[in-house]
Structure 1
Amino acid sequence: MKNTIKLALFSAVVIGYITSCTPSTKETNDGQSEFVENPPAEGFDEKNSDPVAIKLADDVMTSMGGRNNWDATRFLAWNFFGARKHLWDKQTGDVRIEAPRDSTIILMNINTMTGRVMKKGQEFTSPDSLSKYLERGKSWWINDSYWLFMPFKLKDSGVTLQYIGEDTTMDGRNAHVLSLLFKGVGVTPDNGYKVYVDMEQSLITQWAYYKDAYQDEPNFVLPWVNYKPYGKILLSGDRGQRQITEISVLETVPEGSFTEFSPIIL
């Protein structure tokens, strides 16, 4: 387990977040407008995705609290396996990342790639050093956020969804299996996933990670269990032997959370 978790930390999986999509309309074949409750992000590969898989992705979104509640959720915090603490403003793209193991604090905007970095009490001012650590911060954020928010991202930009069939999870529950492939997005677009959607709850209860999407065996298989309500959405931090902790959905955050290195209390 330790080795598989370590592998995933360095793979820095997939895709930047697109948070501006809200329920919209699309034109049907007969020219009529149809309400879309969970529209795909711009660049989602709808043409090559399976309609059954898309429907299951929409069911997952509904079970997680619904698209409207996800879009309305703004501030999120979590502790990624004790390695890094994150605070994210989903509306602006501002993030605060604290890595206690090497005393690093990164305050940045993941959209503009601007920000501040301090390590062991010293702030970096050199453009080269700053750029290096901002890139590292975004890679950390991409990886660490996907481990918590993946169920909301099944129809993200660059994703192709396919329905694989039915199977059972490690704990013996019946599930639909979806394949996620990526094209031209993120820092590791060659990765692939199989996610297991529980037939009764329409929640993702397991995932399998493939460093190369077309390899025969996954690098690891881990549970997604023990969902709990946070704000108006559901989240799971339970990955078996390892836990994502200190999860919270916040209405407000302390002033200076994304601009000052001084400690904050959430």
Structure 2
Amino acid sequence: MKKTITLILLSLTVIACNQEKKKKEEVAGDPNLEVHEKIAMANGFEKFDSINKINFTFNVKVNDTLRSQRRWSWNIKTDKISLTEKDSTMSYTKKDSLAEDKKYIDRRFVNDSYWLLFPYQLKWSDAEFSEVKTAKAPISEKEMKMLTVSYPSEGGYTPGDSYDIYFDEDYMIREWVYKSSDGQRESPSTWEDYKDFDGIKIATMHKSKDGNFELFFSDISVE
């Protein structure tokens, strides 16, 4: 009986792996998709409309000291967003016009959710994309495909910012470099520890080259 169960489990694993491989090949070979769309699709973009709610905790650690920890609950259907921070919970509904006291929460949600779902922002956001080229990634120093994502100089909380994203043959981001609009700041970090939440793929850990900076997600759930 144990052998039968083991064989069934192995068969299911093989089937799942083959399906995942087939999906990756379909995304990579689809001539109707631009590169930024392939990155979004490789991360499960097509699954997003089927979920109702996503919860996550955004954490930032510097030199082994936890500097930030924000717990978010986002109702996708109603766009109601709740933030729990330091035993205090605040909520708002995301819309075009926000009261000043809600912009505090929204600014943080935009930042945290961009890190969480940046591959999807390649479809959602009004960004410009460079031609893809091969370049040496800043942290691993491996040769990867690189795409620059640039945001408009007006609008949003950080207008004019850009990102150099480094991705592999499966269109999964492995590293990026954030560049501020004034050219005064460049921050490279990894994209690692990907986890699959019902088809929604999320890089749960981001580190600087020296490892002194960590931005990571915990308590993720998708409903």
TM-score for the superposition, normalised by structure 1: 0.61
Matched, 1:99 2:97: no
User: Which of 27, 35, 59 is equivalent to 2:38?
Assistant: 59
Gaps of 5+ in 1: 1-37, 39-51, 115-130, 252-266
Matched, 1:201 2:170: yes
Match of 1:135 in 2: 103
- Which digits, 9 at most, give the CA deviation of each residue in 1:103-161, with x for residues without a partner? 432111112667xxxxxxxxxxxxxxxx4331100001001110111011113342111
Assess if the C-alpha contact under 8 Å between 2:57 and 2:220 holds in 1: no
Change over 3 Å in CA distance of 1:185–1:91 after alignment to 2: farther
Change over 3 Å in CA distance of 1:178–1:85 after alignment to 2: same
Aligned pair count reads 179
User: Which of 53, 64, 69 is equivalent to 1:83?
Assistant: 69
Residue identity opposite 1:223 in structure 2: T
More strand, by proportion: 2
Change over 3 Å in CA distance of 1:185–1:197 after alignment to 2: farther
Distance 2:187 2:147 in 1: 16
1:227 match: secondary structure: strand
Change over 3 Å in CA distance of 1:113–1:96 after alignment to 2: farther
User: Which of 179, 182, 188 is equivalent to 2:158?
Assistant: 188
Following superposition, the deviation at residue 76 of structure 1 comes to 1.1
Following superposition, the deviation at residue 182 of structure 1 comes to 1.4
1:86 match: secondary structure: strand
- Select between 91-100 and 135-144 the one with higher mean Cα deviation: 91-100
Following superposition, the deviation at residue 68 of structure 1 comes to 2.3
Assess if the C-alpha contact under 8 Å between 1:84 and 1:98 holds in 2: yes
More helix, by proportion: 2
Following superposition, the deviation at residue 245 of structure 1 comes to 2.6
- Which digits, 9 at most, give the CA deviation of each residue in 1:21-66, with x for residues without a partner? xxxxxxxxxxxxxxxxx9xxxxxxxxxxxxx9x722122122212x
- Which digits, 9 at most, give the CA deviation of each residue in 1:161-212, with x for residues without a partner? 11251113222433211111112431111211111111x2210111111111
- Which digits, 9 at most, give the CA deviation of each residue in 1:76-118, with x for residues without a partner? 1111114211111122211110111xx432111112667xxxx
Distance 1:196 1:110 in 2: 31
User: Which of 198, 204, 216 is equivalent to 1:231?
Assistant: 198
Matched, 1:168 2:136: yes
2:189 match: secondary structure: strand
TM-score for the superposition, normalised by structure 2: 0.71
Distance 1:160 1:247 in 2: 33
Matched, 1:249 2:217: no
Distance 2:116 2:158 in 1: 18
Matched, 1:148 2:105: no
